[in-house]
Structure 1
Amino acid sequence: MRKRIASAFATAALALAGAAVVAPPAAEAGPSGGGHSQDKVMAYFADWDVYARNYHVKDIETSGSAAKLTHLNYAFGNVTGGGCAVGDPWADHDMPYDATMSVSGQADSAEPGALHGSFNQILQLKKLNPKLKVLWSFGGWTWSAGFTEAAKNPAAFAESCYNLVNDPRWAGVFDGIDVDWEYPNACGNTCDESGPKAFTALVKALRAKFGHQLVTAAITADGSKNGKIDATDYAGASRYLDWYNVMTYDYFVAGGQPTGPTAPHSPLRSYAGIPTAGFYADAAIQKLRHQGVPSSKMLLGLGFYGRGWDGVTQKQPGGTATGPAPGTYEAGVEDYKVLKTTCPANGKIAGTAYAKCGSQWWSYDTPETASAKAGYAKSQGLGGVFAWELSGDTANAELLRAIAGRC
C-alpha cells in the first residue's frame, strides 16, 4: 500500500490580520433545507485507521463514541479524473472481519459479492445507532488536487459522486457527501486557480444531484487578511450546503516552522505574541460570519492529537526548537491518548492546552479545553462541533464525551 499523509490538514504562512470577538447576530437565514439544531457532534473516521492504528468501526461503538455522535464522516474518497473514486478498496469494502472484530459479533459472509470492510461495519453500527448519519468525505490534503479538474465540469463531478456514494453494493451506508477541498482558489498540498466562484458552482451541482441527502464541506479556518477564506465565496456556496466543517486546527506546526516559535496548533482566540495574526479559531468564525455564512451552518473543529517540537527549553509558547518532536506515525504529531500520559498538559493559553516535558513541547486539547471550545460554539450559535479524528481519543472516548456534554 502506498504511503499517504494521514492527516487531512496542513497550513502555510500567510499575510497577517486580526479579528475581534463579537456576539452572533440576533437572527440569521436558515439552512436551505429548513432549520438546523445547534447540537451536531461529528467526528471523522479515517480508512487508514484499520492498519497500523488498529482502530476499527467496532471501536466507535465500544468506546461509547457512537452513542455521542450525531454524524460520522468517513475519510477519504479520492477525487480523480473529474469525479469521485473509492480511496482504499481493501479497507473500504473488501477486508473481511471475523466475529471478534465485527460490530455485530458475527463474521462477515463468505458469499460471493458480499460487502466487507469498514462499509459493512458501518452498516452494523447504524443498526445499533439508528439516528447516526454517515457521510463519505472526498479529497483531503493529499487528494485535493483532483478538484481543479472536477471544477471544470461540476455536473459531471456531481453525477459521478452521487453514483458512487449511492452504489447498490453498499446501499444504506451513506446519508450524503462531504467535500474536503484544500483549498479552492488557493494553495494547500497543491495550488488551485479555478477562481472564487468555482467552489460555489461545484457544491451547487452536488446539491442539485443529491437532493435532500446531506451535502457538507470541510473548509479553511485561515482568518488572516487576504488569506484562504478571502479567496473563495464561502458565503455564496453556503446556500447549497447543510453546513461547513471549519478546520480550526493546525495553525502552527513544526513541519512548517521546525525551529519555532512554539505555538499552539489550535488556539481558540488570539494571544500576545501569536506568530500570525488571524490564525485562531474565533478569527475564522467571525470572518465567515461577517461574509454572510450563517452561524448555524458552521461547526467548530477540534483535533484529537497534538503538534510538537523538540529541542525546546522554554515552557511558555514562543520558544525556539531544533525540529519536530518524535511521533508514532509522523514527526511532530501524536495522538491525545498517548500525550495525556507521556507529556501531560501543564499550561493553557488562548483556550487550548500545552505541555513542556524534557526537551519536547506539545500543544493539544484536553477534556477541559475541548469542553470549553464546545461551550464557545454553543455561545456563538454555531451548528455544533466536529473532531479529526476518532482514533486519537482514549479507549473510553474522553475527548468526545467532553465535547458532547456541552452540546
Structure 2
Amino acid sequence: MRFRHRAAAGFATLLLPFAGLIGLAGPAQAATSATATYAKTQDWGSGFEGKWTVKNTGTTTLTSWTVEWDFPAGTSVTSAWDADVTGSGTHWTARNKSWNGTLAPGASVSFGFNGSGTGSPTGCKLNGGGCDGASVPGDAPPSAPGTPTASGVTDTSVKLTWSAATDDKGVKNYDVLRDGARVATVTATSYTDTGLSAGTDYSYSVRARDTADQTGPAGGAVKVRTTGGTGEPPTGDKVKLGYFAEWGVHGRNYHVKNLVTSGSASKITHINYAFGNVKDGRCVVDDTYAAYEKAYTADQSVSGTADTWDQPLRGNFNQLRQLKAKYPHIKVLYSFGGWTYSGGFAQAAADPSAFAASCKAVVEDPRWADVFDGIDIDWEYPNACGLTCDTSGPAAFRDLSRALRAEFGPDYLVTAAITADATDGGKIDAADYGGAAQYLDWYNVMTYDYFGAWDKTGPTAPHSPLTSYTGIPKEGFTSAAAIAKLRAKGVPASKLLLGIGFYGRGWTGVTQSAPGGTATGPASGTYEAGIEDYKVLRTACPATGTVGGTAYAHCGSNWWSYDTPATIGTKMTWAKNQGLGGAFFWEFSGDTANGELVSAIDSGLR
C-alpha cells in the first residue's frame, strides 16, 4: 500500500513563553453570567498571538457575545479568526460570528488574533458588563421556535412555516435565517423566501425576539433544494479539492461512484487523480487496470450503465468522465509523483522540457483527453530528502514549473503539492517556491504528517497542528508557520491551499492523555501501523481534546490525533481570514459514507 506523505521525524522540545492569563467576565444576557479569559499563546518579540475564551457560567443560554478591551499605544490587532474584530484608536471590539454566538450553560468558545507590539489588554467588558462574571437578573430570552417546514418549492422561492416560540413576556417577531444569515424579520410564523437560484441547496432556521428585543436561540434547520437548474451547486470562490487514490479501487473498494453516494461530488470543485508515475524523467500511467481497463457493472457505475467488453475507455477514467457529465462544475487534474514515485523527478529536472512534453502526452491521450483539466506535480521533495534524496538544486523546481506552464499553456491548470516544513533551513528553504509560483495556479501545502509513530517512543503530538502550542516537539511544524513562510517568500495567499488529512496518526503504550506522552510504538491500523481512517477513529477512539487547532484522542493505551468536523471548521475559518485560495484533502476514502469531513470543508469555506 502506497500511503502519501510523511514529514521528517526528528524533534527537539521547545518551551514557549508562559502565557499571560487574565480572567475577565461580564454578562450582557439577562439571567445569566459569563467569563472571558485572555491568553497570549505565542510571542515572537515584535508580535504575538492572543486568544480569548468566552464561557457561559450561568444557568441560561447566552445567545451572543461581544468582548471589548484596550491596548496601550503601539499594540494592535493585525488579523483575527472566529470573531469579527474591529478597532477604534486603542479600543478593540470582538463580536461573535453567526455560527458561534449561542452558548449553552457551561459551554465555551474561543477566538484568536495576531497582534503587533508587546502590550496586554486592560479594561475588558463582556457584553457591556463588568469583567467579574457576575449575574445580572432580568427577563429571560425567548425559547427556540420549531424547525421550519418547507412547502411550495419552486425554481426561485420556498414557503416556510414553524411553531411559535414562548416567552414569559411575549414574542415580538422572528428572524428567518438562510444559511445562517438573517434574510427577514416577521411577526407571523410563516415566510416565503424569494429571489433564489434554481437547482440550489439552502438551509433555513428561525429564532425569536421578545418584547425587550432579546434574541433567543435558533431552532432546528431544514434543508431545501429549489427546482430546476443544471444540478451544478454553488461552490463559492474557494477551491475545495480532494485527492482520489488510484489504488483505492482495490483493497479499499472505493470508487468514483462513492463521491456521488456520499454527497461529496456536489461539495467539491476539483479532484486530483493520484498518482501517475515518474519513470526515467517522464510521466507515465501507473496502474493501467485501475485507470482505464477495469469494467464496471451498472450498479457500480456513476451513470448506471454497465461497461462493455469492446468499450474504448473503462476504469476510473471513464467513471471520472461520467462524474463530470453529472457535475459539470468539477475539474479533474492528473497528479504525478507522491511519496513513492518522486524518485524520477531528479532526472526530469535535468530536461524539464522533455518531462513536460511527456506529461502532456499522457494527460491529452485521445482516449481520455476530455477527462483532465490540468496537471498536478507532487515532488517529495525538490533539493531535499523524502523516500530518496534529491540534489537537483534550489532552481530545479522553478525550472520544472516554468516548463510545464510553457507546454500546457494558459488554459490548463498547473499546480503542485509541496512541503509544509517551515523550520529554519528546512524543506521550504530548499527550493525556489516563490519564484515558481508565477507559473502555477496554486500550491497544495501538505500541512499534515508533521509528527507520527515513526518516532516510536513519542512524544505524542498532533500530526496536523494549525498553530504552535506549549511543548510542541519542533517549532516550524505547523500550518500557520508554513503559510507564513511561503507568503514571506512572495507566494500570494490566494495561491495557497490548506491541507487536511482524512486520517489519524497514533501510538500505543501511552498512559498520558495530554500530548507529550511516551509510547512503545505505532498503534495498529487497518492498512498500516500508526495510521487509521477518520471514519474508523470517530467511533473507535473518539476525540478527547484539542491542541494546536486539531483533535487528539486517548483510548486504552492508544493515542491518536486527527481532524474532526469541528476542527476542520476552525481551520477553514482561519484559511478564509488568511485570504487563502481554499483547501484540499488526502483522500476521499478516509471520510464517512455520508461525506462528513467534505461537508465540513464545504460549509467552512462558504
User: 1:306 maps to which residue?
Assistant: 504
SS in 2 for 1:203: helix
Question: Match of 1:169, as an amino acid?
Answer: R
Q: Distance between the aligned counterparts of 1:75 and 1:8, measured in 2?
A: 12
Q: 1:240 to 1:81 in 2, by over 3 A?
A: same
> Structure 2 stretches of 5 or more lacking a match?
15-41, 50-77, 81-235
The 5-angstrom pairing of residues 289-368 of structure 1 reads: 289-368=487-566
1:361-403 Cα deviation digits (max 9, x unpaired):
0000000001111111111000000000000000000011011
Q: Distance between the aligned counterparts of 2:558 and 2:489, measured in 1?
A: 39
Is the contact made by 1:6 and 1:48 (CA closer than 8 Å) also made in structure 2? no
User: 1:100 maps to which residue?
Assistant: 299
Is the contact made by 2:467 and 2:548 (CA closer than 8 Å) also made in structure 1? yes
Match of 1:228 among 410, 421, 427: 427
Match of 1:5 among 2, 5, 21: 2
1:241-282 Cα deviation digits (max 9, x unpaired):
000000000000102x11000000000000000000110100
Match of 1:269 among 460, 467, 477: 467
Q: Distance between the aligned counterparts of 1:50 and 1:196, measured in 2?
A: 37
Per-residue deviation, 1:10: 3.7
Q: Distance between the aligned counterparts of 1:102 and 1:117, measured in 2?
A: 10
Question: Match of 1:69, as an amino acid?
Answer: I
1:216-258 Cα deviation digits (max 9, x unpaired):
0000000111100000110000000000000000000102x11
Per-residue deviation, 1:6: 2.3
1:73-113 Cα deviation digits (max 9, x unpaired):
0000000111100011011111111111111111112225x
1:101-160 Cα deviation digits (max 9, x unpaired):
111111112225x10110000000000000100000000000101000000000000000
Is the contact made by 2:397 and 2:432 (CA closer than 8 Å) also made in structure 1? yes
Question: Match of 1:117, as an amino acid?
Answer: G
Match of 1:238 among 437, 442, 448: 437
Q: Distance between the aligned counterparts of 2:471 and 2:463, measured in 1?
A: 14
Structure with higher Rg: it is: 2
The 5-angstrom pairing of residues 8-47 of structure 1 reads: 8-13=5-10, 23=79, 38-47=237-246
1:378 matched to 2:375 = no
Q: Distance between the aligned counterparts of 2:302 and 2:453, measured in 1?
A: 38
Is the contact made by 1:16 and 1:225 (CA closer than 8 Å) also made in structure 2? no
User: 1:27 maps to which residue?
Assistant: none
Question: Match of 1:183, as an amino acid?
Answer: Y
Question: Match of 1:48, as an amino acid?
Answer: W
Per-residue deviation, 1:14: 7.0
Q: Distance between the aligned counterparts of 2:574 and 2:240, measured in 1?
A: 14
Question: Match of 1:185, as an amino acid?
Answer: N
Is the contact made by 1:374 and 1:406 (CA closer than 8 Å) also made in structure 2? yes
Is the contact made by 1:38 and 1:381 (CA closer than 8 Å) also made in structure 2? no
Q: 1:93 to 1:336 in 2, by over 3 A?
A: same
User: 1:34 maps to which residue?
Assistant: none
Question: Match of 1:254, as an amino acid?
Answer: A
Instruction: Compute the RMSD of aligned alpha carbons.
Output: 1.6
Q: Distance between the aligned counterparts of 1:368 and 1:244, measured in 2?
A: 25
Q: Distance between the aligned counterparts of 2:534 and 2:282, measured in 1?
A: 35
Is the contact made by 1:243 and 1:298 (CA closer than 8 Å) also made in structure 2? yes
Structure having the larger proportion of residues in helix: 1
Per-residue deviation, 1:38: 4.7
Question: Match of 1:131, as an amino acid?
Answer: H
Per-residue deviation, 1:52: 1.1
Moved more, 91-100 or 12-21: 12-21
Structure having the larger proportion of residues in strand: 2
SS in 1 for 2:298: coil
> Structure 1 stretches of 5 or more lacking a match?
25-36
Per-residue deviation, 1:23: 4.4
Work out which structure has the larger RCO, using CA pairs closer than 8 Å and 6 or more positions apart in sequence.
Answer: 1
Q: Distance between the aligned counterparts of 2:555 and 2:437, measured in 1?
A: 43
SS in 2 for 1:167: coil
User: 2:289 maps to which residue?
Assistant: 90
User: 2:164 maps to which residue?
Assistant: none
Question: Match of 2:300, as an amino acid?
Answer: M
Per-residue deviation, 1:13: 2.6
- Normalised by the size of structure 2, how large is the TM-score? 0.63
- Normalised by the size of structure 1, how large is the TM-score? 0.93
Q: Distance between the aligned counterparts of 1:310 and 1:282, measured in 2?
A: 28
Per-residue deviation, 1:171: 2.1
User: 2:452 maps to which residue?
Assistant: 253
SS in 1 for 2:297: coil
Q: Distance between the aligned counterparts of 1:361 and 1:167, measured in 2?
A: 46
SS in 1 for 2:377: strand
